[in-house]
Amino acid sequence: SARHTGGELAPVRLELEGRACRITALVDTGNTLTDPATGKAVMVAEGEKLRDLFPAGECPAAAELQDPAAALERRKGEGRRWRLLPYRAVGVPWALLLAVKVDRAQVGGEDYGPILVALSPTPVSDGGGYSALIGA
């Protein structure tokens, strides 16, 4: 299978309102997605893998993530934690992802503090070795 170059796998711990989840991310020098509001790196993670961050039954399902605007609309009462993030990818001229601001992200040994995590409706790796991407 295809391999990203310039990337290494790192353990990730995300925290949100006292809950935490652990995933593996590819730290990818080619990933330049940033939060337009802060300029900080944005993590793109497989939505399904973040279930532990949310109360039971509240993690957005893959089908819901296919329509991020409607998903955001349903979360209007949850304050400013949720937003839509525009992005471009290979074969995708322009799209939106539903993103949630986590309280804290640790990638490898590095503390990123609060960052946006965009929830992908589809797997982010072709081989399944990681379930998130973040710029180096």
Residue-wise pLDDT for 8-37, tens only, equals 999 999 999 999 999 999 998 777 788 888
Predicted TM-score (pTM) of this structure: 0.88
Rounded Cα distance between 27 and 40, Å, is: 14
CA neighbor of 65 nearest in space, from 33, 107, 100: 100
Question: Quick one: pLDDT at residue 4?
Answer: 46
Q: What is the mean pLDDT of each run of 10 residues along the chain (136 residues)?
A: 64 97 90 84 93 91 91 82 84 86 95 94 86 89
Spacing of C-alpha 38 from chain mean position: 16
Rounded Cα distance between 66 and 109, Å, is: 33
Question: Quick one: pLDDT at residue 10?
Answer: 95
